[in-house]
Structure 1
């Protein structure tokens, strides 16, 4: 059977297009994932703000545990209003006084402890924010990696379809092909162009989000290094161990623990407010003039001790204790809720990771080889007129769509790893958090 010469070109065109899809050049300034992680820690302004807040809170305990500033007073006592003379009356004096408010023993220590727990909570909030920044950076980076692969595959597929359109047009003009083949190829090419627009828009949105995390202008171009297929390890996350690690390492849980301790200390401080505070003072009065014997009038010394009386404790201090007790109960429930939330995050991320790994294996061992074999078989059949143009195009499109789906699962795998590490309070999944199959 005679095979038209132009038809014989199709396998070569397909091979060249597939080879081009797997060989994309990358610029030397490509942003690797490690570089993105370093930049987000160094440049993210919100992380700096959280750090400064933690620094500010760390200065409060010393302030809260210090005595109030002493009070210095200067008074003119017992001045006669008829002359305002400081020598007319014996009790007229210019008084210099110093007083110090002294809280009931234990109050200052409790106030300092309250500030300590507030500072610890602020520090854990900063650590939690850093952990989530790294997680989100990895998610956006891998989304961009998938979209970049998808765009590369689609663009090479477009080139292939353009060649197929030319072949179909040539066959139609020579009377050896059908007009519907030309229209079909043109339609599929238009569909790919539309899909390219959607993926380009998604890639630009991901780039803007990633640049915002990195503290850079949203329109900063981002290029990524070439991605290879992942090396799937023969291990699965040890869920129980990761949950145990999260109890001791997840900043969110440590912060909620600090909040619970804070609430307990505030309750103790409210109970201590039933006791009075004291004010201790001393003064010295300078008198002018002389006594009847001609001697200078001596100065007068005064010592004072005062305290506040909690006479309205039923409507004030007792209510404050009830308030702080309710806040402590709320903090305890918040700790339990946070622990349950972390466990759910770990379970969900571990499930997504396991499914993504299984899908990647399925693509590598089954779907991808089968799609390529199907395309090759269709090409052979088309050359001998046993397969029509429609089935050839569909087979080729299915292969390229399969490639895109494969890289989508690779991206999902790495994103699940990022979410699992963050949920457990880890920067990276370690071997200690994995169990062998």
Structure 2
């Protein structure tokens, strides 16, 4: 009996030892197992890697948007001469940089005879409209951050709502195609829409800049004319006073009637009043400059430096094409067209049915589908009120499609408006060029011929009247002619500068070569 029991126990121990040995070997085999090579590069496993195609594309689009944002920020702080209407010289910008926030520095620069370039630079630094337009550009650039932040939040939500399968295999998220939102293509479209919005804001900034700079240049030329007109009026006023003394002397000696004395006195008093009017006009123009520079109205400005506008008149043929390329109003409209095109494409992406490979038909989601603890049925067991029998899966498709058709018509209208604006640009260029050419021809006429003749007539009539050889009416006429022709000559010279400013504003690009200043 004892032998039988001992034998059974020994047999049991032998079986257990063999079983333990097989189990240990099985564990070692499982740990050392490596799948075949062809399974390591399967599409399913590659797509589940952290750097899979979907996530890689999304990150690449984010980097493109961040790069575009950086480039626009750089363009705002360091504009290019090829695309900007006005960029001050580095020397003036460095010297007047503190004037951007310090009105005293700006007044100091204008406290002595100032150049046109100085005024342009101060307007560039201080004009409130330009600063407001720059803030608008910064706001448009910040839209990039809004696009990326919103999409990051949506993708984080998608990541948190993934189904984790911790029971079998490695812990990894099962991310179906439906939860890959927003898609990289949609994010790219959003980035392009924002780019067009930023481009539109930049062109609006350029429009504001060229308007403010052109206003300052016109004010400069008008002020220069008024300063010269004041000097001419004072000169002729002295001549009238001298003529009045001559007439009084001849009247005392019986050489003329008292009527001549009255006539010259009337002309003198009228000219004195005209001189006051010119001085008040100077103050008006200076107030205009102070408003452009955001300076107090009681501030005192000096006179502008004497200078001549460019003498050359550009060829009209090349201006048409240049204006169509560089005019900021046209570029702004083109940006609007581009933005609307991409908005329509984005709307079609979200509304119209898209091409699909069927990758999202069967999602990798583990749920209990049968029994009392079922989490999701195998097929729909009820019909929603808005999706009855025969209704489409997108019941509001018709509303979205109607919106797309409406927007397409608005896009066509905007394209026609752009076409009309291009045609009107040609007309504006022609009219601005005509005004410049007319001012140039008139200025040449007065400078080369009329002024000399008026001065000779004044000298001859004055000497002849003192000798008693001509009538007083001829003398008064020669004085009036000299005054009017001198004022007209200076007016035509300033009109040339104003015509240059208008032509550059219409074309949207600087045209005149840099000229050396003529110091008074």
Q: What TM-score, normalized to structure 2?
A: 0.63
Residues 281 and 409 of structure 1: CA distance in aligned 2, closer, same or farther (over 3 Å): farther
Is 1:144 the equivalent of 2:223? Answer: yes
* Structure 1 position 201, deviation (Å): 2.8
* Structure 1 position 375, deviation (Å): 1.1
Spell out, residue by residue over 1:62-92, the C-alpha distance to the aligned partner (whole angstroms, 9 max, x if none).
42254244559x9xxxxxxxxxxxxxxxxxx
> What is the aligned partner in structure 2 of residue 85 from structure 1?
none
**Do 1:61 and 1:113's aligned partners in 2 also have CA atoms closer than 8 Å?**
no
* Structure 1 position 281, deviation (Å): 13
* Structure 1 position 356, deviation (Å): 0.7
- State the SS of the aligned residue for 1:237: coil
* Structure 1 position 418, deviation (Å): 1.1
Spell out, residue by residue over 1:5-29, the C-alpha distance to the aligned partner (whole angstroms, 9 max, x if none).
xxxxxxxxxxxxxxxxxxxxxx971
Larger % of helix: which?
A: 2
Is 1:362 the equivalent of 2:439? Answer: no
Residues 242 and 430 of structure 1: CA distance in aligned 2, closer, same or farther (over 3 Å): farther
> What is the aligned partner in structure 1 of residue 330 from structure 2?
253
> What is the aligned partner in structure 2 of residue 201 from structure 1?
280
Paired residues, what number? Answer: 361
Question: After superposition, where does 1:219-230 map in structure 2 within 5 Å?
Answer: 219-227=298-306
Spell out, residue by residue over 1:175-211, the C-alpha distance to the aligned partner (whole angstroms, 9 max, x if none).
3331111110111012112222332332222221122
Is 1:157 the equivalent of 2:240? Answer: no
* Structure 1 position 357, deviation (Å): 0.8
**Do 1:104 and 1:275's aligned partners in 2 also have CA atoms closer than 8 Å?**
no
**Do 1:31 and 1:222's aligned partners in 2 also have CA atoms closer than 8 Å?**
no
Residues 274 and 412 of structure 1: CA distance in aligned 2, closer, same or farther (over 3 Å): same
**Do 1:282 and 1:302's aligned partners in 2 also have CA atoms closer than 8 Å?**
no
Quote the Cα distance in structure 2 between the aligned partners of 1:349 and 1:231: 15
> What is the aligned partner in structure 2 of residue 343 from structure 1?
426
| Equivalent position to 1:390, from 473, 496, 507 | 473
**Do 2:223 and 2:304's aligned partners in 1 also have CA atoms closer than 8 Å?**
no
Is 1:425 the equivalent of 2:508? Answer: yes
Quote the Cα distance in structure 2 between the aligned partners of 1:172 and 1:282: 119
Spell out, residue by residue over 1:124-169, the C-alpha distance to the aligned partner (whole angstroms, 9 max, x if none).
1101211222211111110111111111111222222123223322
Is 1:187 the equivalent of 2:266? Answer: yes
> What is the aligned partner in structure 2 of residue 16 from structure 1?
none
Is 1:122 the equivalent of 2:197? Answer: no
| Equivalent position to 2:246, from 157, 167, 170 | 167
Quote the Cα distance in structure 2 between the aligned partners of 1:385 and 1:353: 45
* Structure 1 position 301, deviation (Å): 9.1
* Structure 1 position 320, deviation (Å): 1.2
Is 1:332 the equivalent of 2:409? Answer: no
Cα RMSD, aligned residues only: 3.4
| Equivalent position to 2:140, from 46, 50, 57 | 57
Is 1:400 the equivalent of 2:516? Answer: no
| Equivalent position to 1:310, from 394, 409, 430 | 394
* Structure 1 position 31, deviation (Å): 2.2
Structure 1 stretches (4+) deviating beyond 6 angstroms? 280-284, 299-303
5+ residue gaps in structure 2? 1-109, 161-177, 355-359, 368-372, 378-391, 515-520
Larger % of strand: which?
A: 1
| Equivalent position to 1:322, from 400, 405, 409 | 405
| Equivalent position to 1:32, from 106, 115, 118 | 115
**Do 2:204 and 2:328's aligned partners in 1 also have CA atoms closer than 8 Å?**
yes
* Structure 1 position 361, deviation (Å): 0.8
Deviation larger for 238-247 or 122-131: 238-247
Is 1:102 the equivalent of 2:181? Answer: yes
Residues 375 and 365 of structure 1: CA distance in aligned 2, closer, same or farther (over 3 Å): same
- Give 1 or 2 for the bigger CA radius of gyration: 2
Deviation larger for 159-168 or 48-57: 159-168
**Do 2:113 and 2:304's aligned partners in 1 also have CA atoms closer than 8 Å?**
yes
**Do 2:114 and 2:305's aligned partners in 1 also have CA atoms closer than 8 Å?**
no
